[in-house]
Amino acid sequence: MNDRIPVTYDAERGTFTLRTANTAYQMAVTEYGHLLHLYYGETLPDNDVSYLIPRVIRSHESNPPEAGTDRTYSLCAYPQEFSSNDAGDYRIPSIELVNGDGSYAFVGKYVRHRIYDGKYSLDGMPSLFANDGKDGENVRTLEIDLEDSVTHVGVTLLYGVFFDKDVITRSVIVRNGGDSGIRLQRIMSASIDFTAGDLDMIEFFGHHYVERQTDRKRVTHGISEIGSFRGSSGHFHNPFAILCDPDTTEERGGAYGFALMYSGNFVFDAELDGYGQTRAAMGIHPKQFEFLLEPGDTFTAPEVVMAYSGEGLGKLSRIYHDIFRGNVCPSKFVGQDRPVLINSWEPFRFTFDTQKLLETARISKELGADMFVLDDGWFGDRDSERAGLGDWTVNEKKLPGGINTLADSIHELGMKFGLWFEPEMVNEDSDLYRSHPDWCLRVPGRAPSRSRHQLCLDLSRDDVCDHLIRTVNAILDSGKIDYVKWDYNRYVCDVYSTAYPPSRQGEIYHRYILGLYKILDGIISTHPDILFEGCSGGGGRYDGAMLAYFPQIWCSDNTDAPARLTIQYGTSFAYPVCTMGAHVSVCPNKRTKRTVPLKTRALVAMHGTFGYELDPAVMTKEEREECAEYTQFFREHASLIRTGDYYRLASPYDDRLYTAWQFTSKDGDESLVCAVTTDVSTNDKVSYVKPRGLDKNAFYTVRHIAFGNDKNDKEYTEERLLSGAALMNIGIMLPLSAPQYSSFLLFLSRKKKA
């Protein structure tokens, strides 16, 4: 066996084996043509582990007709690669459809397969890409065709194997090869059957201001389900979930990740059946989903990015961070340190004029910011949430001379300039709505539901998409804009498009998302020099597909540092820190009313893109000087934070007094350790922060980084030389009586061998 071959087919045994550096994935075609899932996990040299399937009579289970009198062949008791409820598999299916004759039958049997170099791409939807063998990247694709021999409906199962990155992607294309239309009602992009064992499910739930909280529970009998039916991937559950052994921790144990590259309705199911088998499935939410496929039509399902770590949750996250940094977003900004921006929203909302903005930009230079971002309120009659959305023409009452005049003045100050847009939405009090009331989603004969006083444009319509591409591009083509914040501030309901017949209304949720991707392609790919940041009522649409367009996404409207600890912690399970929009804001915090030291606010914002969202004019001179130190420190270490390996050292949920995290350069020479005390105690046990991933035999210079008042404190300025072994086994002591929400920053640098 050549152990660097990502895809092998053993014709004699009918097995397919996918291999990455540390994992293996195996399937087998049975004597009757069914494709079984055999294994996913730690790498194996074996080309056939089908012995794991018990060929026993499962009492009353069905036997497909091909099996004749063989009662041991039951699909419900066998692990399936792509399941349907026909022929007796009663678990959650990969596909559900209605044939032209009204039957629900689909029995997919193996027909052929193809293996080729590089990575497949998907029509109309983002998916991971291979970097053409750059850095020796070893990527291959396997396509397996299954077909129903009666209806000639077929599916192509797509597998992208990223050998060095330890990632396997899956997607499915459904093809109606028959001669009558079918109605596709459910299509899962990936499903995996585990034949035995207890599993925990970890998912990331929340709501506006409280995104991606971490929840871990045992998968019990029945179906454990998370998902979104809000039209976007959403605040309430993230399209990323983990299944792991019950004893898996940050550093030990097996863990599987499933990330859906999709920004609309989704579902993740884990079903534990009576035989102790677990089926996991992920794809577009089947609720209000029905796609009509005429003869010859195809439907492409979004991609699931799967990874397995045998070394705990921390390693699983680092696998996702590497693939999401390297193989999802073509923007040049992914590989660059980002500007330190100051945003106008928290301090000014809708009330500003040119003078105020320029004054803010001028003072924010003292903080070290190098980009000024004008948020909501610059266009149409947008003086509140009630009017103006949709009218992307500058409000000259606020900004005489228009955007270019303001942009020029900001550029003259030596700063870059960014602008906020929310293209997918419309206020009824807008010229756009008055001239095109039919351009928003609404059910005929019913008044639409408003959210934040706005309606959602119908992106399933080509004319709406073309209008948005034209309008936004016209502003961006002025060439004065360096950054765009692309917002999306409501959930979708009243889903109906007058552009489609009644029989196609089940397609609209998905067509909306395809329209969104088309718009983003039409705007972002034609403006490679503009940095785009995603946003959705804070961090409500934070998913792999959005990362294909946005190198960074605003993580939450909650800028309170302690609240951000849990939000950023949860976000870090799948998404790299360099994608998390994070800013320093004023205290008491506008949302939580909490007061937290400036240093802690800065340190928590460095767990992200770092920037400011405040009025620097109301800060003291000393505060501004202190901020300048933070900005400078962030700049010096921006590439370590952006590209380094990330470790969660102490969870904000643990019963500890602190939360901690660490960034280590890929060569292991430098490491930043950050800690925030989340609780106080008197005369309590000592907290030792233990860094990870160091060379235990090497020595490291350990330096506390002091800012502002810290500098007078000897404790902070003392430098030590400690071995990796001491640092990882004993740790670094935090001061015993540190007040709540104090923060500590340590810089470790490996001593070169003499």
User: Which chain residues interact with ligand GLA by CB under 6 A?
Assistant: 345, 375-376, 420, 487, 489, 535, 537-538, 554, 557
Cα-based torsion angle of the residue sequence 230, 236, 242, 246 in order, rounded to the nearest 10 degrees: -140
Distances (CA, A) of 640 to 599, 633, 663, 667: 19, 11, 7, 11
- Residue 130 CA to residue 136 CA, distance in Å, equals 11
Q: Kindly state the smallest distance separating residue 750's Cβ from ligand GLA, in Å.
A: 40
Q: Kindly state the smallest distance separating residue 665's Cβ from ligand GLA, in Å.
A: 32
Please, which residue, 388 or 597, has the CB nearer to ligand GLA?
A: 388
The DSSP H or E segment spanning 112 is strand 109-117
Please, which residue, 254 or 534, has the CB nearer to ligand GLA?
A: 534
Please, which residue, 64 or 418, has the CB nearer to ligand GLA?
A: 418
Q: Kindly state the smallest distance separating residue 212's Cβ from ligand GLA, in Å.
A: 15
Strand partners, 374: 419
In the numeric block, which tokens belong to residue 245?
Answer: 């052994």
Please, which residue, 191 or 559, has the CB nearer to ligand GLA?
A: 559
605, 583 contact by CB (below 8 A)? yes
Backbone angles phi, psi at 280, to 5 degrees: -110, 140
- Which residues are CB-neighbours of 752 under 8 A, at least 6 positions away? none
Verify cis geometry, omega within 30 degrees of 0, for the bond prior to 588. Answer: yes
Q: Kindly state the smallest distance separating residue 680's Cβ from ligand GLA, in Å.
A: 32
Q: Kindly state the smallest distance separating residue 346's Cβ from ligand GLA, in Å.
A: 8
Distance in Å from the first CA to the final CA of the chain? 42
Q: Kindly state the smallest distance separating residue 557's Cβ from ligand GLA, in Å.
A: 5
Pick from 515, 496, 518, 516: which is nearest to 506 by CA? 496
Per DSSP, the three-state class of 232 is coil
Is-catalytic flag, 477? no
- Residue 745 CA to residue 728 CA, distance in Å, equals 16
Please, which residue, 506 or 534, has the CB nearer to ligand GLA?
A: 534
Q: Kindly state the smallest distance separating residue 452's Cβ from ligand GLA, in Å.
A: 8
Residue of closest CB approach to ligand GLA: 376
Active-site residue, from 48, 359, 385, 623: 623
- Residue 239 CA to residue 230 CA, distance in Å, equals 13
Helix pair 354-367, 621-643: axis angle to 10 deg? 70
Q: Kindly state the smallest distance separating residue 208's Cβ from ligand GLA, in Å.
A: 8
Is-catalytic flag, 123? no
Tokens 């499915």 identify what position? 172
CB-CB neighbours of 114 under 10 Å: 11
Please, which residue, 92 or 369, has the CB nearer to ligand GLA?
A: 369
Please, which residue, 537 or 693, has the CB nearer to ligand GLA?
A: 537
Please, which residue, 218 or 452, has the CB nearer to ligand GLA?
A: 452
Active-site residue, from 61, 166, 458, 543: 543
DSSP collapsed to 3 states, 295-313 = CCCEEECCEEEEEEECEHH
Pick from 281, 278, 197: which is nearest to 245 by CA? 197
In the numeric block, which tokens belong to residue 152?
Answer: 């000639």
Positions annotated as catalytic residues are 543, 623
